[in-house]
Structure 1
Amino acid sequence: MGTADRAGSRAGREGGAAGQQAPAADAVQLLTPDGRRVTHPDYDIALTPGELRSLYRDMVLARRVDAEGVTLQRQGELGLWPSLLGQEAAQVGSARALHDSDHVFPSYRDHGVALCRDVDPLKLLAMFRGVNNGGWDPVEKNFHLYTLVIGSQALHATGYAMGVAKDGAQTGVIAYFGDGATSQGDVSEAFNFAAVYNAPVVFYCQNNQWAISEPTEKQSRVPIHRRAAGFGFPGVRVDGNDVLACLAVTRAALARARSGGGPTLVEAYTYRMGAHTTSDDPTKYRDPAEVEEWAGRDPIARLKTHLLDNGWAGQPFLDEADREGEALAQRLRAQVRSMPSPPTEAIFEHVYAGPHALVDEERAEFGRYEATFAAPGGK
């Protein structure tokens, strides 16, 4: 690529259709990057100092769990870890808008949402260690299993939402996915089914601007939230680094869904400050200046400044949140390292709800294959 091509590519990222780099002018914002509270004519929210401190704590814990996941993978304790660094506000804000009866269909990066649904992060780590296929009961917390197939959870969520609507339940359903998933046919199909059947579902796209090494403008010629109009339902873009705006917009979208108003597409415009996963090297395709610029819009620092400036938190509270995060990380580290490996035949369990002849045949064949290996310590 020549100098002119590189400059054009850079300009496209900074001012192109997807609006990369600068926060979009049409994004709902209630808390500016310097921690100043602002209002919005359509979305506003009144929170107590205690509720604001709770949001801060949630984001701090999510970031600390995420950092521990990265460290454990680097130490060989996990096979892979997808980092949420920079997306804490998008996840915590939206998750705190949920009612207990609402259902969540996550992707594979939504660790902050899992924490807000009281899923033990050890179960997340166990999955990426290869010890189980999820490890939590989706019904217990109304938090379904992580989906590694890009975008398929949007269809799962839509089908579930159509079902609860037929049951007459006033329940909201939310599907989380990234900007890259919007290029998948599953997501477009989910949009169409949700619109036609007026399904009570919120499509929550965390646009972190990079689908692995592909920038957003290679995923869409228009801002992602505008795609909703083509399917016949509303879309809204929110500042994904503003936890208050994410909470307010998601709360409104879920209320609309529960009351029979149908689907909404929320585009949380944020930034992935880390790698796509621990197997990715973002320095190969991303400008360091871009990362530095977005670090100045850190979602946790933004709320921290707001709390301190208004006298609603002091250093003791901040220190306690950090200590709680460190204690959680130490527990996870110890439990992951002492986690026993499952028996090899466990892979055949829970494939179907009941016995299945083909699975029984495969289990027996695997047992015969395993028997050909010498026992540990044997000859």
Structure 2
Amino acid sequence: MSSDQRDAASATMRVLDEAGDLADGADRPDADGLLAGYRQLVHGRRLNELAGALVRQGRLAVYPSSRGQEACQVACAAALSEGDWLFPTYRDAVAIATRGVDPVEVLSMLKGDWHCGYDAARHRVAPQATPLATQLLHAVGVAHAARLKGEDTVVMALCGDGATSEGDFHEACNFAAVFAAPVVFFVQNNKYAISVPLARQSVAPSLASKAVGYGMPGVRVDGNDLAALSTVLGDAVERGRRGAGPTLVEADTYRVEAHTNADDATRYRTADEVDEWAGRDPLTRVSAYLRGVGVLDDDIEAEFTTDADRMAARVREGLGVDVAPDPGELFAHVYATPTQQLVQQRAALQAEFDVEEAR
């Protein structure tokens, strides 16, 4: 690993500062591209707000909010091409929606449906993974298979800081580096693994510096800076696509809301800490920059807000539709070719329903 790569793993790459001004030495971002990204940020924030409200109304069982992390969510999805794959965690609903999956389908699992809610193969988005780091192994497997087949597929594998303490994280990084799998390991370091602070998880100078041990590049980036994230993740995806292997990207960000609606975050962090990070809001940073260069005004802002409200109304309506359960689905996706035992069980269950209907 070169000295430049070691520096990237310890320094935090930034394009826009917290006030929305161009950081010292940074190149000006593409304003039109950043405006499109800002529209996605507005939609992502609205989706987080809506999902929280639906939980309070009893229409969703649980929701792990990514408020404060929306720049990470938008940038990682936008960096991918149509043929690439996204492997999300339970906190990445906004990333999945940005990838193009209907938000109604994204949230349906949290409503209590038995499946992930969307066609993973069609969208090239794996099911949201609740166990920490298990999806990273799956992501590496897909990437390695694509490389063996000569495809130019790149896989974006998402995880949080807590997942870097898991053995699966180590196995995935090691395998990907050894076999030059086209994977971007994107760690959204939001400072807490539920209630466990980062200092109780790792004493490494940064999570990106863990890449040194695997022989892959590690880059630390301001996770509330959409422009910087777009550059770093875009470069990592391109590196994987040209066959140069995996990259570990650490985004320095913060989970502004509680872990889920079942969590009492006041037990392990202070209101002052939350307020400090709330002042680093990724939306206001991009908005300030775009207004400063004359690309964003009140009319465009209102248009984005109206579009986001329409999306929210459609999602509320979609999630309010009760779907009649089909007991036959219990047997539909156990095996590609059902076993004889499953065929018999399905027939027996159907016979019972037929008897009931005949009465």
* Aligned: 1:96 with 2:81: no
Distance across 1 between alignment mates of 2:343 and 2:66 = 39
- 8 Å Cα contact 1:208-1:271 kept in structure 2: yes
- 8 Å Cα contact 2:88-2:159 kept in structure 1: yes
The equivalent position to 1:28 in structure 2, one of 10, 13, 21, is: 13
**For residues 131-142 of structure 1, what are the structure 2 equivalents within 5 Å?**
131-142=113-124
Secondary structure of the 2:12 match is: coil
* Aligned: 1:128 with 2:110: yes
Distance across 1 between alignment mates of 2:112 and 2:348 = 22
- 8 Å Cα contact 2:44-2:70 kept in structure 1: yes
Distance across 1 between alignment mates of 2:82 and 2:43 = 21
**1:107 alignment partner in structure 2:** 89
Deviation at 1:45, TM superposition (A): 6.6
- 8 Å Cα contact 1:32-1:302 kept in structure 2: yes
Q: What is the identity percentage for the equivalent residue pairs of Structure 1 and Structure 2? A: 41
The equivalent position to 1:162 in structure 2, one of 127, 138, 144, is: 144
Distance across 2 between alignment mates of 1:156 and 1:34 = 39
Deviation at 1:157, TM superposition (A): 0.8
| 1:67–1:45 distance in 2 versus 1, CA, 3 Å | same
Secondary structure of the 1:177 match is: strand
Give TM-score scaled by structure 2 length. Answer: 0.91
Deviation at 1:273, TM superposition (A): 0.4
**2:3 alignment partner in structure 1:** none
Distance across 2 between alignment mates of 1:367 and 1:178 = 44
* Aligned: 1:303 with 2:303: no
- 8 Å Cα contact 2:97-2:106 kept in structure 1: no
- Aligned residue pairs total 349
**For residues 265-344 of structure 1, what are the structure 2 equivalents within 5 Å?**
265-344=248-327
* Aligned: 1:255 with 2:238: yes
Distance across 1 between alignment mates of 2:163 and 2:327 = 33
Distance across 2 between alignment mates of 1:240 and 1:323 = 26
1:312-367: CA deviations, max 9, x gaps?
Answer: 11111111111111111111112211232423443332122121245456657878
Secondary structure of the 1:353 match is: coil
- 8 Å Cα contact 1:45-1:244 kept in structure 2: no
Which runs of 5 or more structure 1 residues have no equivalent in the other structure? 1-23
- 8 Å Cα contact 2:71-2:225 kept in structure 1: yes
Paired amino acid for 2:53? T
Deviation at 1:52, TM superposition (A): 1.8
1:217-271: CA deviations, max 9, x gaps?
Answer: 1221111111111111111110000001111000111111111111110001100
Secondary structure of the 1:206 match is: strand
| 1:45–1:94 distance in 2 versus 1, CA, 3 Å | farther
Give TM-score scaled by structure 1 length. Answer: 0.86
**2:215 alignment partner in structure 1:** 232
| 1:251–1:360 distance in 2 versus 1, CA, 3 Å | same
* Aligned: 1:55 with 2:40: no
**TM-align CA RMSD:** 2.4
Paired amino acid for 1:240? G
Distance across 2 between alignment mates of 1:291 and 1:366 = 53
- 8 Å Cα contact 2:10-2:219 kept in structure 1: no
**2:169 alignment partner in structure 1:** 187
Would you identify which runs of 4 or more consecutive aligned residues in structure 1 move more than 3 Å?
357-371
* Aligned: 1:70 with 2:55: no
* Aligned: 1:244 with 2:227: yes
